[in-house]
């Protein structure tokens, strides 16, 4: 099957990660599903440095507003949001590996997707936890087209991508540049997809505030993907 005709499920650690790292791909594939892993508020309310930078008084306010931002962003790209009931690292209650794998496996089954887009797993604890859990899906889902995207903005950290690719190799996986998922040859379509991505990123107003003006330019970097396979498969 041509990759352009597959039904993708994009796994997004946080509300904005899929759009930041895969926005053009989503624009090119209306109807794709985006599963945000760390989408739940903490059991007890709290205030964190990141939420304050984003303009929120507390975690409950932050999750409510960020969910609304994410809904608007994904609507621009005609993507369907799915959300898991886990808290991100700043709320100090990470899920176990087994719980995360189980939830992702159920989501993949229910979505009937035949193409999984997972984070490469750079820098941030939530990204690394999500990446490890997604690899488990590759092991027990024969025939699944499995890709990873380079996590924006963390891929700008010197040596981060190369170190992670080397780690995947040591764990028994091959990662091949997925040129078939890069920008389309049609320049008009490419521009349209880029415009839609920019509009969708703009919906994450609180996160743009937290990133600050000096970091925003890095959010519009070219998307890059790798197809991952088990070496002995």
Contacts of 64 (CB under 8 A, 6+ apart): 41
Whole-number pLDDT of residue 13: 97
- Within 10 Å of residue 169's Cβ, how many Cβ atoms? 12
Proportion of the chain above pLDDT 70, given as a percent: 94
Whole-number pLDDT of residue 221: 82
Mean per-residue pLDDT, 212-224: 79
> What domain count does the chain have?
1
| Domain that includes residue 159, residue range | 3-230
Whole-number pLDDT of residue 203: 96
Pairing relationship of beta strands 80-83 and 225-230 according to DSSP bridges:
unpaired
pLDDT of 45-104, one tens digit each? 999 999 999 999 999 999 999 999 999 999 999 999 999 999 999 998 899 999 999 999
CATH number, domain of 132, equals 3.40.50.10320
Q: Which residue, among 70, 95, 73, 93, has the nearest Cα to 83 in the 3D structure?
A: 70
Residue 69 backbone class (left: φ over 0; alpha: ψ -120 to 50; beta: rest): alpha
Q: State the pLDDT confidence band at 127, using cuts at 50, 70 and 90.
A: very high
Does residue 185 register a pLDDT over 70?
Answer: no
């Amino acid at each position: 099957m041509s990759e352009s005709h597959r039904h993708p499920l994009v796994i997004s650690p946080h509300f904005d990660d899929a759009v930041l790292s895969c926005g053009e791909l989503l624009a090119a594939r209306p109807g794709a599903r985006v599963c945000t892993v760390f989408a739940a508020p903490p059991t007890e309310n709290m205030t964190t440095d990141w939420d304050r930078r984003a303009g929120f008084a507390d975690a409950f306010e932050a999750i409510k507003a960020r969910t609304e931002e994410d809904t608007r962003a994904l609507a621009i790209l005609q993507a369907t949001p799915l959300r898991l009931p886990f808290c991100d690292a700043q709320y100090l209650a990470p899920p176990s590996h087994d719980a995360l794998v189980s939830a992702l496996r159920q989501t993949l089954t229910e979505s009937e997707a035949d193409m999984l887009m997972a984070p490469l797993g750079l820098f941030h604890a939530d990204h690394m936890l999500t990446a490890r859990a997604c690899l488990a899906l590759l092991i027990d889902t024969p025939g699944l087209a499995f890709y990873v995207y380079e996590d924006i903005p963390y891929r700008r950290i010197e040596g981060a991508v190369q170190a992670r690719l080397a780690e995947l190799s040591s764990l028994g996986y091959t990662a091949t540049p997925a040129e078939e998922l890069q920008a389309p040859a049609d320049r008009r379509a490419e521009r349209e997809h880029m415009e839609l991505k920019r509009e969708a990123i703009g919906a994450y107003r609180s996160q743009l505030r937290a990133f600050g003006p000096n970091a925003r330019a890095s959010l519009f970097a070219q998307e890059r993907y790798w197809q991952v396979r088990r070496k002995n498969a």
